[in-house]
Amino acid sequence: MVEEAEKKSKAKVLDLSGNFVREVTLPLVFMEEYRPDLIKRAVLAMQSNRRQPKGPNPLSGRKTSAESWGVGRGVSRVPRVKTGNRAARAPQTVGGRRAHPPKPEEVLKRKINKKERRKAIKSAIAATMDTDLVRRRGHKFSDAVELPIVVEDALATLEKTSEVEKTLNSIGVWDDVLRAKERKVRAGKGKMRGRRYKPRKSVLIVISGDEETPVDRDIRVGAKNLPGVDISSVEELNAELLAPGTHPGRLTIWTESSISKLAAMHGVM
């Protein structure tokens, strides 16, 4: 048990060729309790904040001279226009109002407590260390890969897509990028509204954010055209990046300095 605990508290640092260089002590955050309920709430809170209120014109379907006969005649009649017998205004008529349209005053945002959101992010970080969870999420990587994947800081300076591809191939995660390249047509009307294909998520690369390399000359440029690959600094990490679609266990690559920054924030094992 002691050897197993020591093994979990350490991670191998790889160079850009995928070779072992040294070991690094993992931050305490990687031992956080797995809370899929909090992770889901945190992701849904972020998604709900992007929604915009919508609703029809209050007079839509009501701009007509149609009037109802009223009660007391022993018959049931929908409102009819003045110049004939055509029905109007009622929800079941052509050009009539909607029965239950979307309301602009509806509260769309889902809130989450600050401490719960922070715990959700910590839990999502710890989930990236679970090999079974990452595979169940659909990610493809070599059996020789040990999670978490930690790479030297030179990874953050790669500005050529070919260099990033070569490094990901050496580490053993390039198959996951190829998996994300395959797209499927979305079901429903979303395909007519600029969302024809359902994008997939692949590798998340976490850098420290303190690199001296200019933003336009680092891995953000080198990996921006790779399908499903996201780049984030430690400060920018959120529940949706770590658990897209509320499903935790994203395949994540950490730079050595990002691990050090996490350790400074949360302590080491």
Span 119-143, pLDDT tens digits: 999 999 999 999 999 999 999 999 9
Percent of the chain with pLDDT over 90: 86
Q: Span 249-266, mean pLDDT?
A: 94
Distance of alpha carbon 138 from alpha carbon 265, whole angstroms: 30
Beta pairing, strands 230-233 & 204-207: parallel
| Distance between start and end Cα atoms, the chain | 15
User: Region 209-226: what's the mean pLDDT?
Assistant: 81
Average pLDDT over residues 226-235: 95
74, 159 contact by CB (below 8 A)? no
pLDDT band at 85 (very low <50, low <70, confident <90, very high): confident
Look at residue 5 in the predicted model and tell me its pLDDT: 41
Is 90 exceeded by the pLDDT of residue 225? Answer: yes
pLDDT of residue 215: 61
Averaged pLDDT, 15-22: 94
User: Which domains can be identified in the chain, with CATH numbers?
Assistant: 2-34+113-266 (3.40.1370.10)
Q: How far apart are CA 124 and CA 248, in angstroms?
A: 6
Cα dihedral 73, 75, 78, 82 sign: negative
Residue 218 has pLDDT above 90, yes or no: no
The residue among 152, 141, 129, 145 whose CA lies nearest residue 22 is 152
Instruction: Measure the CA–CA gap between 102 and 175, rounded to whole angstroms.
Output: 43
**Residue of 249, 3, 208, 234 whose CA lies nearest to 126:** 249
Higher pLDDT, 240 or 209: 240
Strand ordering across the sheet containing 252-255: 20-25, 10-14, 149-151, 252-255, 204-207, 230-233
pTM of the model: 0.87
User: What's residue 124's pLDDT?
Assistant: 98
pLDDT above 50 (res 2): no
Model confidence at 88, in pLDDT bands (50, 70, 90)? very high
Nearest to 241 by CA among 208, 214, 209, 202: 202
Other C-beta atoms closer than 10 Å to the C-beta of 115 total 9
E runs forming strands in the chain: 10-14, 20-25, 149-151, 184-185, 197-198, 204-207, 230-233, 252-255
